[in-house]
Structure 1
């Protein structure tokens, strides 16, 4: 039964069937895309941190914490498991998984701190909560992040499951939920650029560049997860 399923469904990358020249071009393009995702995530975090000027107000810590959590740690935590190039040179899968967990823990802690500063800032200024699309989508992103962490905990600790045989399917759910979290986070970051604070800080062509930059790592992460986990039926020639 298991052999029959393996013959019908394949989890191979999309480069199968390409010629040698096209194959190497495809590989280098994917590696360049991964490097661009690394640089974009780090660059967005640094620039947003500088623009927010941490310490000038309670709100100033919110962009810093959230960009660190989702633009940097979440991006690196996902790309860490990519075979196309990671800044972390771990040969063992176990080492990558441990670092992945560490980065995801940083996501939760930084997001919780950023949320606390935002709540405190709005309470001091007596402004309503969840009054914009950015805040609503951000709340959904935080809730989904917590659910994703719980799902990952079940994957890493099979003893928590009553049915260990369901762990492979849970891995698929974990990856799919991770993709949803990343897309929600990308949407939240892009909506933040429509806020009064960001539009007053960045204007003109630079604003449009910032608006499009989060799409670079999002496309790379989406391709990585779908290529690794979505089943692909073999094509008969």
Structure 2
């Protein structure tokens, strides 16, 4: 009898077709509102720079200068860079990987500047023998820095979610990162808004009501618009768990 070769039943190793990427939404009203947020952030930073150098530069002046650069400008732009409604990112045609890369690089630089600015305020209080964290501005700033700790830890973990998925779901890591980051930016944003009510701002601006209104309007708008998308994403993910 002739031997008949029987092929073993080997499962197919065909690769699954990749899911088609969603096309970004066409430019609309939200893109225009994001552009306004960019303008507000830049205007506030220019305003603080003007107030820092319009008078003799002092040791404490580093605090508003570094915080306006680190928190208001870099932190806000670092969050907006991953937004789908950012026309700047749309023009640069950045993919998701590059957006995340710029996101953590910009926020890392921002946090370093914010931490230095925070230390300057603490050292200045010690030099003047004043009590710490008596104002809402200072308290909100402290809360935002504390909230940055879990955001940084989970943000780092999110970069290695493939290796960590055996121990914890990547969706949970990302949710904790987004929630803690949103809380951090919320309280940091409140501290920035309240900065226009501080004695330093009043003294540097000579109680100019127009500069006060400019600072208040630019901070309020940019903080509210930057927060709206992360807040919605956090609520949606919470309901999915």
TM bin, normalised by shorter chain, reads: 0.7 to 0.9
Secondary structure of 1:193 counterpart: helix
Q: Which has the higher contact order (CA 8 A, sep 6+)?
A: 1
Q: What SS is found at the alignment partner of 1:91?
A: coil
Q: CA deviation at 1:100?
A: 0.6
TM-score (norm 1): 0.79
Q: State the Cα distance separating 1:148 from its structure 2 match.
A: 1.1
Cα distance change on mapping 1:55 and 1:143 into 2, 3 Å: farther
CA contact (8 A) 2:34 2:85 kept: yes
Gaps of 5+ in 1: 1-11, 13-22, 233-237
Cα deviations across residues 5-24 of structure 1 (Å, max 9, x unaligned)?
A: xxxxxxx9xxxxxxxxxx97
TM-score (norm 2): 0.77
Gaps of 5+ in 2: 1-21
Is the aligned partner of 1:214 residue 2:219? yes
- List structure 1 segments (4+ residues) > 6 angstroms apart after TM superposition: none
Note the 1:13-92 alignment, pairs <5 A: 27-53=27-53, 56-88=57-89, 89-92=92-95
Count of equivalent residues: 209
Residue 158 (structure 1) aligned with residue 146 (structure 2)? no
Separation in 2 of the partners of 1:132 and 1:160? Answer: 43
| Partner secondary structure for residue 214 of structure 1 | helix
Q: Secondary structure at the match of 2:88?
A: coil
Maintained 8 Å contact 1:78/1:221: yes
Greater C-alpha Rg:
2
1:44, 1:164 → 2: CA distance? 44
After superposition, what is the alpha-carbon deviation per residue over 1:155-205, rounded to whole angstroms, capped at 9, x for unaligned? 112267474551112212222222212211111011221111112233223
Please, what is the CA RMSD of the aligned residues? 2.5
1:125 equivalent to 2:100? Answer: no
